[in-house]
Amino acid sequence: MTIKKVCCLGAGYVGGPTCSIMAYKCPDIQVIVVDKSKQRIDEWNSDVLPIYEPGLDEVVKQCRGKNLHFSTEIETAIKEADLIFISVNTPTKTFGYGKGKAADLKYVELAARDIVETVESGFKIVVEKSTVPVKAAESISTILHSKQKAGVEFQVLSNPEFLAEGSAITDLLHAERVLIGGEQSPKGKLAIGALSWIYQHWIPEEKILTMDTWSSELSKLAANAFLAQRISSINALTPLCEETGADVSEVAKAIGKDSRIGSKFLQASVGFGGSCFQKDILNLVYICESLGLQEVAAYWNSVIVINDYQKRRFSLRIVHRLFNTVTDKRISILGFAFKKNTGDTRESAAIHLSKHLMDENAKLAIYDPKVDKQQILDDLSHPYISEDPSRVARLVTIHQSAYEAGQGSHALVICTEWDEFVKLDFRRMYEIMEKPAFVFDGRKILDHEALISIGFEVETIGKRFNQSANRLDDF
């Protein structure tokens, strides 16, 4: 079967970049990305794309209007497409059964209903790109088949996405693997073959793994759980390092040399953020609990427990080192995105850190090179973060540069590993700060010895400086 038109429901961090690369690599296919949000589609059609992702602008500019289109005409796009990706959001439920853990499949289900109500004829392949609980494809399939019109046939595939924000374009162009799960029937295999054919435009065939739908769905949750587990494992060693005088970077280097462990994803930090790790692990925990697998649920939940502990611990350390009070002290938060090279703040450690410091009445001067002012204010005004949003207006200011944020502050707190923070002129920064001037490096990116020689008091993750231990004793 030949695919001529592809449509994607959801023009977000996954739908947008994935379809842009698909259009770029498959000039013989028309790709239409649709979204319910007119504002988001308008932005995709403008010069300032709704998401920041290195390399994305160039790809979009090259294909947009040729074989890549962004539209709110959802029905038309669904009707005309041979293959439909569902790439909508699957947030953690905030109400009812499974509140705080289970994935909210409302948007996936609504997308499936949009499809079944719109399609009038032909064989349509529906591809679950969103990250979903195991057996979600089965639910989508049930919805599609329950209202299917005569002359219409659906096949549902699972094709989870493994891109990471900030490197999405490289990840998509050079994917280590593409996973396609589907029914092991002749029609299922036909659909798998059709989706595989699209990817084969740029991904070597041996990197395209095909399997049953449930294994594919579980593999996505498992991959994120394993990645997050590595971060929590290295972070769990950081308090030990700080207590004993060991250096977590040395420990990471030593263990990473063992090829069975490997060196990637061992960067200790203030805690992982992002829209998916926590959400997907909570989802896994919920599935385990629903199946009565309490020990397994507790095992995966501990990854989140350590992450929360790490964020809280770092905030406490800031308060402790600033002589146990930060009330009315100006603290510069450098970086608000959950990692560098993205403007995404979802579940960013900076939000939680800011909350803890606001609870202590600190005045926060925040700077991030890619996050909008309004986004920061919205994040901090969220009811989960500030019971009283007027506190945000009183305590938070947003700045245009690190120096502007640093002016008159008692401490710099590095929350995101932006390259520009490494290149700051710290002598200049030292001059404009209150004394003693503190640096809390939550990302371990700065030259700490150089900072100490300038006169800074330095704290970082997983390493104790003798100087700070002495000062703590003095206090």
Ligand X SMILES: O=C(O)[C@H]1O[C@H](OP(=O)(O)OP(=O)(O)OC[C@H]2O[C@@H](n3ccc(=O)[nH]c3=O)[C@H](O)[C@@H]2O)[C@H](O)[C@@H](O)[C@@H]1O
CB 134 within 8 A of CB 214: yes
88 annotated to a ligand binding site: yes
Q: According to the annotation, is 244 in a ligand binding site?
A: no
For position 34 contacting ligand NAI by CB under 6 A, the verdict is yes
Does 53 interact with ligand NAI (rule: CB under 6 A)?
no
Residues near ligand X (CB under 6 A): 131, 161-165, 224, 227, 231, 265-267, 269, 272-274, 276-277, 338-339
Which of 54, 57, 107, 230 binds ligand NAI (CB under 6 A)? It is: 107
DSSP 222-289: HHHHHHHHHHHHHHHHHHHHHHHT--HHHHHHHHHTSTTT-STT----S---SSSHHHHHHHHHHHHH
Q: Indicate the residue among 82 and 459 with the shorter CB distance to ligand X.
A: 459
Can you state the angle between helices 466-474 and 294-321, rounded to 10 degrees?
A: 70
Gap between the Cα atoms of 119 and 144, Å rounded: 10
Q: Does 130 bind ligand NAI (CB under 6 A)?
A: yes
Three-state DSSP at 469 gives: helix
- The span from the CA of 38 to the CA of 74, in Å, is 11
Q: Is 276 a catalytic residue?
A: yes
Residue 425, marked binder = no
Q: In what order do the strands lie in the sheet with 363-367?
A: 396-398, 363-367, 330-334, 411-414, 438-441, 457-460
Does the annotation flag 246 for ligand binding? Answer: no
Q: Which does 133 bind (CB under 5 to 8 A by kind): ligand NAI, ligand X, none?
A: none
Residue 15, marked binder: yes
CA–CA distances in Å: residue 48 to residues 31, 32, 182, 372: 20, 19, 37, 13
Query: Quick one: which segment of 6-14, 259-267, 405-413, 440-448 binds ligand NAI (CB under 6 A)?
Result: 6-14
Name which of ligand NAI, ligand X, none residue 273 binds, using a CB cut-off of 5 to 8 Å depending on partner kind.
ligand X
Does 100 count as an annotated binding residue? no
Q: Taking CB within 5 to 8 Å according to partner kind, which of ligand X, ligand NAI, none is near residue 267?
A: ligand X
- The catalytic residue among 8, 19, 26, 276 is 276
**CA atoms of 345 and 207, how far apart (whole Å):** 32
The site partner of 231 among ligand NAI, ligand X, none (C-beta below 5 to 8 Å per kind) is: ligand X
Minimum distance, C-beta of residue 17 to ligand NAI, in the bound complex (Å)? 9
For the chain, the straight-line distance linking the first and the last C-alpha, in angstroms and rounded, comes to 74
Tell me, by CB under 6 A, how many residues bind ligand NAI: 28
Phi and psi angles of residue 158, each rounded to the nearest 5 degrees, phi first? -105, 125
Query: Footprint of ligand NAI on this chain (CB under 6 A)?
Result: 9-15, 34-37, 40, 74, 87-90, 107, 110-111, 114, 130-131, 161, 163, 165, 275-276
